[in-house]
Amino acid sequence: TLVLKLVERFPLIINIGAAVLALTAAKMIISEPLLESWYRADALSLSQAGRELVVWVTYAFCIGGVLAAGWWASRHAHAGRARTFGHGQT
């Protein structure tokens, strides 16, 4: 119940948790043996700095995608509730 009270008071906790899960997913993607060739610097004809850039872009894409999907779902859930309760009708 303490966690629920904290989440109700600070909804940002949900976004932080989602970002942590997305970061974990990105690390799993990068370390996946089947995708290793995509993240090797020599396979991409990139320097080590170029490889690091690809890794950071993967992190940003995963985290940004999860947070954007959450924002979108939340926005559409609020719109659906407004229609359900008769709000927003002209």
Per-residue model confidence as pLDDT tens digits over 24-71: 999 999 999 998 888 876 776 778 888 889 899 999 999 999 999 999
DSSP letter at 68 equals: H
Q: How many CB atoms lie within 10 A of CB 62?
A: 21
Question: What is the per-residue pLDDT for 23?
Answer: 97
Position 87 confidence tier, pLDDT thresholds 50, 70, 90 = low
CA distances, 15 to each of 19, 20, 53, 66 (Å) = 6, 9, 24, 9
- Supply the pLDDT for residue 46: 77
Residue 19 has pLDDT above 90, yes or no: yes
Torsion angle, CA of 75/13/21/38, rounded to 10 degrees? Answer: 70
